[in-house]
């Protein structure tokens, strides 16, 4: 335990030093450029402070995060069963396999015009884009994970008398968890990208819209402040949610992708 704690401290130190160096370089570049197009770290910090104090930044983060959570949850709840079905049912695979692959190749933001025509400038329209963005990578990864479960694992379970739903839920899906989790993580980054693109294109009150506001007012510092907020949102989710899940999977399944 003490070993991992000290390595954590070392990593913290390295990260701190790295940030100091980066900020210093940025500051020097901003000094040299001396242009409103390249604000200094202090300008950006001030912009974050102002938008945080007025509540604009938090409201935007809250709006975007809520959309992300809802859209991602729907994508997970639909994508994992869809992937399992694609892996296990020849009929389903033949019927919609090519469709899923084809749609998966379409950047999800391409659905926004259609979603707006169908649902108007509503929450639903933007949600459709987020769900479509995350759903297909999750389904594809789940399909691959379930298809690649070691045949001897399933055979062993069958010789113990497992079949049908018991086999699927107690053996096949647990065996596929590392792959499904990798797909879930991929889905999360796709959801975030789709959401930001969607929010940029339509007035919506999230971080994307705040970016647009910054652009409209020529406020480069605000734009950079929002970018930093997006980075923070992504990193917090990564550290709070995905890293612990990855560690637990590595501990139990013995996979090395921690």
CA distance 23 to 40: 9
Q: Which residue's CB is nearer to other proteins, number 192 or number 249?
A: 249
Q: Which residue's CB is nearer to other proteins, number 120 or number 151?
A: 151
Q: DSSP string covering 96-151, please?
A: HHHHHHHHHTS-GGGGHHHHHHHH-SSHHHHHHHHHHHHHHHHHHHHHHHHHTS-H
Q: Which residue's CB is nearer to other proteins, number 96 or number 250?
A: 250
CB of 88 to other proteins, least distance (A): 18
Torsion angle of the four alpha carbons 102, 108, 111, 115, in this order, in degrees rounded to the nearest 10: 130
CB of 258 to other proteins, least distance (A): 13
CA distance 22 to 28: 10
**What angle is formed at CA 78 by the lines to CA 208 and CA 100, rounded to 5 degrees?**
85
- Token pair of 83 as six digits: 């992937």
Contacts of 218 by beta carbon, 8 Å cutoff, 6+ apart: 36
CB of 162 to other proteins, least distance (A): 6
Q: Encode 240-258: b = buried (16+ Cβ within 10 Å), e = exposed.
A: eeeeeebeebeeeeeeeee
CB of 40 to other proteins, least distance (A): 50
Give the single-character DSSP code of 219: -
Q: Which residue's CB is nearer to other proteins, number 75 or number 171?
A: 171
CB of 138 to other proteins, least distance (A): 20
Q: Which residue's CB is nearer to other proteins, number 157 or number 228?
A: 157
Residues forming contacts to other proteins in the complex (CB under 8 A) are: 150, 152-153, 155-156, 158-162, 166, 170-171, 174-175, 177, 251-254
Q: Which residue's CB is nearer to other proteins, number 4 or number 150?
A: 150
CB of 251 to other proteins, least distance (A): 7
Give the single-character DSSP code of 171: I
């Amino acid at each position: 335990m003490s070993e991992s704690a000290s390595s954590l401290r070392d990593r913290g130190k390295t990260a701190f030093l790295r940030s100091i160096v980066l900020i210093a370089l940025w500051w020097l570049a901003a000094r040299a450029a001396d242009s409103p197009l390249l604000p200094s770290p202090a300008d950006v910090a001030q912009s974050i402070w102002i938008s945080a104090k007025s509540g604009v930044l938090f409201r935007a983060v809250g709006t975007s995060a809520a959309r992300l959570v809802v859209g991602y949850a729907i994508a997970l709840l639909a994508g994992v069963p869809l992937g399992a079905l694609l892996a296990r049912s020849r009929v389903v695979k033949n019927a919609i396999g090519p469709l899923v692959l084809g749609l998966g190749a379409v950047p999800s933001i391409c659905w926004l015009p259609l979603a707006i025509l169908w649902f108007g400038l509503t929450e639903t329209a933007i949600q459709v884009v987020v769900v479509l963005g995350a759903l297909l990578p999750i389904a594809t990864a789940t399909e691959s994970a379930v298809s690649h479960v070691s045949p001897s694992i399933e055979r062993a379970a069958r010789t113990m008398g497992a079949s049908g739903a018991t086999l699927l839920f107690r053996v096949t899906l647990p065996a596929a968890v590392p792959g499904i989790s990798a797909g879930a993580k991929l889905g999360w980054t796709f959801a975030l990208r789709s959401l930001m693109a969607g929010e940029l294109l339509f007035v919506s009150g999230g971080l994307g819209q705040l970016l647009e506001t910054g652009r409209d007012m020529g406020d480069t510092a605000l734009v950079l402040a929002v970018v930093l907020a997006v980075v923070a949102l992504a990193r917090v989710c990564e550290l709070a949610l995905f890293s612990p899940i990855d560690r637990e999977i590595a501990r139990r399944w013995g996979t090395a992708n921690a």
